[in-house]
Chains A and B, each alone.
Chain A
Amino acid sequence: MPIKMFDGNGAAVEAIRLARPGVIAAYPITPQSSIAEHLADEVAEGKIKAEYVRVESEHSAMSVCVGAQLTGVRVATATASVGLALMHEVCGVTAGVRLPIVMPVVNRSLVAPWSLWCDHSDTMAERDTGWLQFYCANVQEILDLQLCAYRISEHEDVLTPSMVCFDGFYLSHSMQRVDTPTDEEAWDFVGPYVRKNMYIDTKDVMFVNDLCPTDEHTEMKYQQMMGFEAAREVVPQVFAEYGKRFGRKLYTVEKYMLDDAEIAVVAIGSMAGTGKYVVNELREKGIKAGLLRICMFRPFPEEEIREALKNIPVIGVVDRSSGLGGAQAPVCTEVKAALLGTDAKVFGFVGGIAGRDISDGSFRKIFGELEEIREGTRQKVTRWFDAREDAMTIREVETC
C-alpha cells in the first residue's frame, strides 16, 4: 500500500476523492478551508469527476448535499465550528430523511468569544442531531474512519449520516505519514452509492419530508433509533473487514493499559496520544494507570466502556467542551451513565478549550489527582484543570 504524506485536511480530501462523489458543495471556514480549496482543485484537475457547487454558506452546503444525494449520487462537504452550527437545521433533515452523507468536521470552538482553535463544542452540540460521530486520534485515522464511514452510513440497516471529527490544527494542519489504499483498493472497499428508501426520481415518484402527523412521527424517530442500534453491529463488521484488507485496527473504544489499572482516564480525540505517553511514565513509577479512548461517540458504546472500565475504582473523564450548566460535560455525562451501578468513582475534567494545549503536564495533574483520590488523600478534583487562577478577574470592567 502506498505511503503518502497528508495533513488532516489532506487525508479527508483523499478519502473523499477515493469515494468518488458526484456532487461537492463546500464553504470555507478555518480550519477546514483547505478541504474546500483542495476539493475544488481536484475537480478542476479532473481527479474528482464531480459537480462543485460553490455555495454561499454552510446552510446551503448541506442543503445542496441533501438535494443532490436524493437524486442518487454520493456527495461531499466539510465544515467546522460555527459553520456546523449554521448547518444544524439541515443536519437534522439529512438524518431524518436517512441520507447517509459522510462529512469531515474539523473541530473548532464555538463563539463567543471568537476563537480559531480546537475544542469539541461544535460537534458535541450536534450529538443528538441523528448523526453517527467518530473522533480521530491521528491523521491516519481520518482517512481510515472516513472510508469506513461510507460503508457504515450507507449500510441498508443504518442509513444514518456520519461526522468524522478531528481536532482543528492538532490534526487538520499536522503533516503525518498515511498508509493510503490505491484508488482500486479503496473503490473495491467503498463501492458505488446505491440510493435506498427516499429519493427524487421522476420515474418513481415520491414526495420526501412532507408534514408528518403525530400518529407517525414517533415511529419515524424509532426507525432512526434502530439505525443507530444497527450501527452497533455494523461498525465492528466494517472495521474488521477494513483491518483484514488494509492491516490496520480501528476501534469503537481503544483500551490502553486498562487490564490491571487502578486509575484511568477516558479521553477523546488527539489528546489521547499525550495521555498514553503519561500512562507509560506513570507505569515506570509503579502507578497502575490506564487510558480509554472513545473513538465512536454516536452511537455511544456504553457496553464496551462498561466492560473496559469494570474493575477500575477511580476514573477521570476529560471533556474538550465546557458542557455549561450540565451535571457534567457531555462525554463525562455519558460515561457516568454507562457506569451506573458499578462501584467506580467517576470525575469529570474540562479543559483544552479553544486550543489550550492538553499537555503531558495536564495529564500528570489529572492522573495525580485521581491517584490521590484512590489513596484517600483527596475528595474532589479540579474540574476545570487548566483554567487560570485569575479567571474571574480577567477583562473585568469596573462600573461606576
Chain B
Amino acid sequence: MLTYTIQPKGLVSPGINTCQGCMIDVIFRNVLDILGEDTALVIPPGCAAQFSGCGPESAITVPGIQGNLENSAAIAAGIAAGFRFQGNDHTQVVAIAGDGGTVDIGLQSLSGAMERNDNILYICYDNQAYMNTGIQGSSSTPYAASTTTTPAGKPVGSKDLIRIVMAHNVPYAATASVSHLPDLRKKVKKAKEIKGCRVLHILSPCPTGWGYPSAKTVEIARKAVDSGAWVLLEYENGKVTLGRKPAALGDVAEYMSMQKRFAGIGEDAVATAAKNVTDRYAYLEKLAQIG
C-alpha cells in the first residue's frame, strides 16, 4: 500500500536526486504524464534507478520492479505475459533503461522481446556512457569521446541502436531528444496506442559526463539534432520517416567544442566525426525513400 510523504502533481515525486541539469527527470515526467496510472515499470540499475527509490521510498506512484542490468526487456515481457494471462491487455508495461543497459548488456534480452513482439514499450534514455557508475564508455559512446575507460578518446563509433531495432521489424520505433519535448510527447502518445514491442531511443545529454555547464543540456541536445549527430526519426510498419532535415548537417565542430569529453581532439578527428554523421544521415535518407 502506497502512502504519500509528498503529494506529487503528476506520477513522479518532486525533488529527485538526479544530477543538476539531467533531464531524465523530464523524460520520466512526460512519459508517465502521457501513459498515466495504468502503467507498470521495469527500471534496471543506472541513473533511472533514482526513480525506483531507496529502501521503503519510491519516487514514482506506479508499480514496478528494479531488475538486473541486462534483463529489463525480459522482465517486462514476463509482466506483460502475466497480465495477458489474466485478461489484462490495457496496462502499459514499460522498461526504461540507459544506453549501457540497452545497447551493451541488455541487447540480447531486448532482441528477444523485439523478435517475439512482446507487448511492451522499451525506452532507452541515452547519455552515451555509464554515467551512474562514473562515466565509463559504453557502445553508445560516440567516436573520439573521452570517458574513464576511453581516456584517450573512443577509437570507434557508437552502435546504431535504432537500426538494430528496425532490423527486428517491430511495429513502432522512434528516436527523440530532450530538446524536442513536443516531438517526444507525440511519439510516446503514438507508441501508447500501438500493441507489440515498441522502442523509443531518447537522447539525454549528461552535464557531468559530457563536461558542460548544467544549464546547457537543452542547448547541447538541440545542437546534436541540428548537426545530425542525433537524428530524429520514426519507424512504423516498416517505413522510416525522418524529422526535419538538420539545419547544419555535419557541422559537429561547435557541438563537440562545447563538451569537455571531446577536449583536445585534432581536426582530423573532428572531420572523421563529421563524415560519420553525414554518411549515416545519407544512409537513413535512403532508407526513408524506400516504400
Contact B85 A207 (CB under 8 A): no
**Residues 11 to 64 of chain B near chain A (Cβ within 8 Å):** 37-42, 49, 52-55, 58, 60-64
Cβ of B123 within 8 Å of any chain A Cβ, yes or no, is: no
Cβ of A172 within 8 Å of any chain B Cβ, yes or no, is: no
| Residue with the highest number of chain A CB atoms closer than 10 Å, among B41, B54, B61, B63 | B63
Separation of A63 and B82 alpha carbons in the complex (Å): 12
Neighbouring A residues of B91 by C-beta, 8 Å: 202
Residues 109-126 of chain B, each 1 if its beta carbon lies under 8 Å from chain A, else 0: 101100110100000000
Chain B nearest CB from A154 CB (Å) reads 16
Contact stretch, chosen from A102-110, A209-217, A315-323: A209-217
Contact A200 B65 (CB under 8 A): yes
Total A-B Cβ pairs within 8 A: 158
Chain A nearest CB from B3 CB (Å) reads 10
Neighbouring B residues of A63 by C-beta, 8 Å: 67-68, 71, 74-75, 77-78, 109
| Residue with the highest number of chain A CB atoms closer than 10 Å, among B76, B82, B84, B85 | B82
Q: Given the known A-B contacts A53-B78, A65-B78, A200-B63, are A23 and B116 also in contact in the complex, defined by CB atoms under 8 Å?
A: no
Contact stretch, chosen from A68-76, A263-271, A355-363: A68-76
**Residues 44 to 79 of chain A near chain B (Cβ within 8 Å):** 50-51, 53-57, 59-60, 63-73, 75
| Residue with the highest number of chain B CB atoms closer than 10 Å, among A54, A56, A67, A72 | A67
Can you list 7 pairs linking A and B with CB atoms under 8 Å apart? A51-B85, A56-B115, A59-B108, A65-B78, A72-B86, A202-B39, A213-B55
Query: Looking at chain B, what size class is its interface with the partner chain?
Result: 35 or more
Neighbouring A residues of B52 by C-beta, 8 Å: 207, 209-211
Contact A210 B112 (CB under 8 A): no
Cβ of A208 within 8 Å of any chain B Cβ, yes or no, is: yes
Separation of A63 and B1 alpha carbons in the complex (Å): 25
Neighbouring A residues of B78 by C-beta, 8 Å: 23, 25, 53, 63-70, 75
Q: Which residue of A lies closest to B36 (CB)?
A: A202
**Residues 256 to 275 of chain A near chain B (Cβ within 8 Å):** none
Cβ of B143 within 8 Å of any chain A Cβ, yes or no, is: no
Neighbouring B residues of A204 by C-beta, 8 Å: 1-2, 63
Residues on B close to A: CB < 8 A?
Answer: 1-2, 37-42, 49, 52-55, 58, 60-68, 70-71, 74-86, 91, 108-109, 111-112, 115-116, 118
Neighbouring B residues of A209 by C-beta, 8 Å: 52, 65-67
Q: Given the known A-B contacts A205-B62, A206-B63, A208-B64, are A216 and B55 also in contact in the complex, defined by CB atoms under 8 Å?
A: yes
Chain A nearest CB from B16 CB (Å) reads 13
Neighbouring B residues of A93 by C-beta, 8 Å: 67-68
Q: Which residue of A lies closest to B91 (CB)?
A: A202
Separation of A215 and B118 alpha carbons in the complex (Å): 38
Separation of A163 and B115 alpha carbons in the complex (Å): 30
Neighbouring A residues of B66 by C-beta, 8 Å: 207-211
Neighbouring B residues of A70 by C-beta, 8 Å: 65, 78-79, 82
Separation of A213 and B52 alpha carbons in the complex (Å): 13
Separation of A70 and B85 alpha carbons in the complex (Å): 13
Residues on A close to B: CB < 8 A?
Answer: 22-23, 25, 50-51, 53-57, 59-60, 63-73, 75, 89-90, 93, 97, 200-202, 204-213, 215-216
Neighbouring A residues of B83 by C-beta, 8 Å: 71
Neighbouring B residues of A59 by C-beta, 8 Å: 70-71, 74, 108-109
Partner of A64 from B38, B63, B77 at Cβ < 8 Å: B77
Contact A67 B74 (CB under 8 A): yes
| Residue with the highest number of chain B CB atoms closer than 10 Å, among A22, A63, A89, A206 | A63
Separation of A215 and B54 alpha carbons in the complex (Å): 11
Contact A207 B82 (CB under 8 A): no
Partner of A207 from B58, B68, B115 at Cβ < 8 Å: B58
Partner of A210 from B53, B71, B109 at Cβ < 8 Å: B53
Contact B2 A205 (CB under 8 A): yes
| Residue with the highest number of chain B CB atoms closer than 10 Å, among A65, A71, A73, A89 | A71
Separation of A54 and B81 alpha carbons in the complex (Å): 11
Given pairs A60-B71, A65-B78, A204-B2, 5 additional interface contacts (CB within 8 A): A23-B81, A90-B68, A202-B62, A208-B63, A210-B53
Contact B71 A202 (CB under 8 A): no
Separation of A200 and B64 alpha carbons in the complex (Å): 6
